[in-house]
C-alpha cells in the first residue's frame, strides 16, 4: 500500500502519518472500515477468552484448595503384612520353596517412582511368610481417598531375575485405619495377602515422630 502511494502523483509528504490519520477517522472507505471492524472484533474476542480463562483458573484453584484441605498430605503406613499359600517357585534350585517379598505401589498418583513404590525384605523359604517390615507411602495433598494400591508378591532369586508370584489392585477401605485380607490374582492361584494400614496427616505424623525422639 505504501508503495502504491509512493507512485501516486498526489502522494502525501509523510505516508505513514497519512495512514495513521486515516485509520483514526470515524469514517473510512468501506474496505478499510471493514478491516478495522474485523481487527476490533478479534481484539474483543481475545479479551473475552482471557476473561474466561481467568475465571476458570480461579475456579480450578479454589477446587484444588478445597481438595487439599479435605485430603491433606498424609502418610499411608502398611504393617502386619503376611501371606499364605505362596507356591514353590524355586524347584529348579533345590530348595523347593519360595523366598517371597511384597512390593506395594500407590496408584492414581503421579510423582517420583521411588516415593510411590516400596517393598518389604524377603522371607527365606516360606510358603506362609510374615514380614516384620513397616512400609510407608506418601499420599500427596488432594490425592484420591481411600487410596488405590497395587500389591505384588515376588520370589527373590539370586541366580536369575525375581519372579512375580501373584498380584492385585486393592482399594483400601474408607477411614484412617483398617485391615485387608485379599486373594491375589495371577498364574499362581491360592495366594492370600493380609495387612493392616493407617493413614495419618503428614504434619501429625511428623509431630508424633518428633515427640518420640524427644
| 63 and 80 fall within a common domain | no
Residues 62 and 79 both lie in one domain: no
pTM, to two decimals: 0.69
pLDDT in the model for residue 10:
63
CATH of the domain at 169: 2.60.40.150
Q: Are 111 and 141 in contact (CB under 8 A)?
A: no
| Count of structural domains, the chain | 2
* Res 199: pLDDT: 96
What sign for the dihedral angle of Cα 126, 187, 184, 135?
positive
Residue 84's beta-bridge partner residues? Answer: 192
CA distance 214 to 200: 20
Same-domain status, 56 and 80 = no
Residues 47 and 87 in one domain: no
Three cell numbers, residue 125 = 523359604
Cβ contacts of residue 164 below 8 Å, gap of 6+?
152, 153, 154, 186
Per the DSSP assignment, residues forming a β-bridge with 181 are: 194
Task: Check: CB of residue 154 under 8 Å from CB of residue 101.
Answer: yes
Q: Are residues 78 and 170 in the same domain?
A: yes
Residues 119 and 153 reside in one and the same domain:
yes
Angstrom distance (rounded) from CA 121 to CA 106: 18
SS3 content of the chain, % helix, strand, coil (to 5): 35, 30, 35
What the block records as the C-alpha cell of 209 is: 515422630
| pLDDT score, position 202 | 85
Choose one of 32, 51, 69: the last residue of a domain. 69
62 in the same domain as 160: no
- If asked whether residues 65 and 151 sit together in one domain, one would say no
Position 184 scores a pLDDT of 97
Instruction: Give the pLDDT means over successive 10-residue stretches in the chain (214 positions).
Output: 54 67 62 70 86 89 79 94 89 71 95 89 95 96 93 91 95 95 92 97 63 53
Closest CA to 69 of 79, 61, 80, 77: 61
pLDDT for position 106: 96
Q: Which of 69, 88, 116 is the last residue of a domain?
A: 69
Judge if the upstream peptide bond of residue 146 is cis by omega within 30 degrees of 0: yes
| Residues 56, 96 within the same domain | no
Q: Which domain holds residue 63?
A: 2-69
Question: 3-state DSSP call for residue 147?
Answer: coil
Amino acid at each position: 500500500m505504501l508503495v502504491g502511494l509512493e507512485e501516486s502523483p498526489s502522494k502525501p509528504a509523510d505516508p505513514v502519518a497519512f495512514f495513521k490519520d486515516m485509520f483514526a477517522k470515524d469514517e473510512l472507505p468501506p474496505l478499510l472500515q471493514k478491516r478495522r471492524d474485523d481487527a476490533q472484533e478479534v481484539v474483543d474476542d481475545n479479551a473475552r477468552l482471557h476473561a474466561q480463562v481467568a475465571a476458570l483458573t480461579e475456579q480450578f484453584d479454589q477446587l484444588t484448595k478445597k481438595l487439599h484441605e479435605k485430603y491433606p498430605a498424609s502418610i499411608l503406613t502398611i504393617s502386619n503384612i503376611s501371606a499364605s499359600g505362596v507356591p514353590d517357585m524355586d524347584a529348579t534350585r533345590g530348595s523347593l520353596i519360595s523366598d517371597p517379598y511384597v512390593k506395594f505401589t500407590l496408584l492414581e498418583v503421579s510423582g517420583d517412582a521411588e516415593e510411590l513404590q516400596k517393598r518389604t525384605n524377603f522371607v527365606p523359604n516360606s510358603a506362609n511368610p510374615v514380614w516384620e517390615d513397616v512400609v510407608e507411602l506418601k499420599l500427596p495433598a488432594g490425592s484420591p481417598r481411600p487410596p488405590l494400591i497395587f500389591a505384588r508378591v515376588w520370589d527373590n532369586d539370586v541366580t536369575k531375575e525375581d519372579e512375580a508370584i501373584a498380584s492385585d489392585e486393592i482399594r483400601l477401605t474408607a477411614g484412617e485405619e483398617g485391615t485387608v485380607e485379599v486373594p491375589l490374582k495371577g498364574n499362581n492361584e491360592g495366594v492370600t495377602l493380609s495387612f493392616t494400614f493407617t493413614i495419618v496427616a503428614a504434619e501429625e505424623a511428623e509431630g508424633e515422630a518428633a515427640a518420640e525422639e524427644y
